[in-house]
Structure 1
């Protein structure tokens, strides 16, 4: 590629990779190239910058080229690296679940403020657990609690189980495959959920990393985006312990619709917490 020195050095590979990713429309192409090459070589990004003339081993070249081609096709970076950060955790990711996003951390902030007596929270439920991100982050903060995560996809429940072990929380969490609250009995001090909430017709217009590479089951909220909330509103009153709280993630523009569903089910909306972009993101609910 023009402007790059030929060869098999770190610097040559990074230059060529940056140009390829830029041409593919990837934001921050040089930074992403460094992430992929460091991953392929099993080193830190700082090591690449320290000696740009160092050779790239043939085995790492093959891995790097494969990852680079996939990233140019908009495969998410976290899928290529195999893990993603969330809250204070490092989580394995695969194609069975959504990649955890920073916006979802708003649920944890809202839950911590809604239940300031952390020692009193003993049972936590996460409906649609995915990677287990929300439940495991909650358990890391509510340190006397035991958590249950439910997901319709058995592979997601298995991944969440692995993430609990990865983060030292396996003894305080159980993960079930089932349809929302169907496999559950008992009541919980905190119920959390980041459900599918994208309108079906809007999914093809999402950014390619999401529309093409995230599981449709975890995105599709039905014609109006509210199908999952209807099920949650019906289930949560029977799941909340006295004084308990539920916190639901919302899509943009859904606050009024979800709050109305909650009120109709006998729940009381207490707060809607915005994310860092100012979008109302976490709806806090109390029981009747």
Structure 2
């Protein structure tokens, strides 16, 4: 199972830290952010609306998956794209705003793992699955969430094509990959994986790329879906086994002439009822 970090393993509702930015900086950033459904963009908008009211959307904004948003020479996004003159490694989720002839501004956010993320990861691990985290965020932030959730394989600073490459590498090793993500930049990886899942709060294109859409702010529905899939597979095998045994006994008897038409009709109906009743156990 491969997880994205922000908005998937972590709560989608992030909080903007009190960083060194002005009201005008926040207004511009929030205006750009209206063109995105990314959790960081939504957090920027929420922070502005809390203090200043409705956000005025900026027009002509272009979304660059894996990088950020731009309008003309303005950029809002990751450090290496929007603020190339800034060195260092991000300590947590952040967005940088760059404008012509103005200093770059950093917006830093606080995030926490979803309340049931540790339990779900532990449950999946105990069932024999390998758990990976692939994130575009910095190494420090990724390592912190990986430590909180018990994930031992975590990679940071990945672009969308890097995630696709890693999924292809895992698939090439003979494993079937379930990819779980919510961001626009996760869509290629979701489409590449053997099966994929996305929360209902994800971007439209992300939900379209996913095979499974789960609701709520917890990961429990994902675990429940996998449990149902396992039980369904078991019941299908049981029903196939019963059908094979029934035909192995009934067909030779019918050919030998020991089965009358009435007995054959009753037996066929009875076998169908047994299969249906067994399948209904999936609802328990």
How does the TM-score come out when normalised to structure 1? 0.29
Q: Indicate the structure with greater helix content.
A: 2
**Structure with more contact order per residue of length (Cα contacts < 8 Å, sep ≥ 6):** 2
Q: Given the two structures, how large is their TM-score scaled by the length of structure 2?
A: 0.29
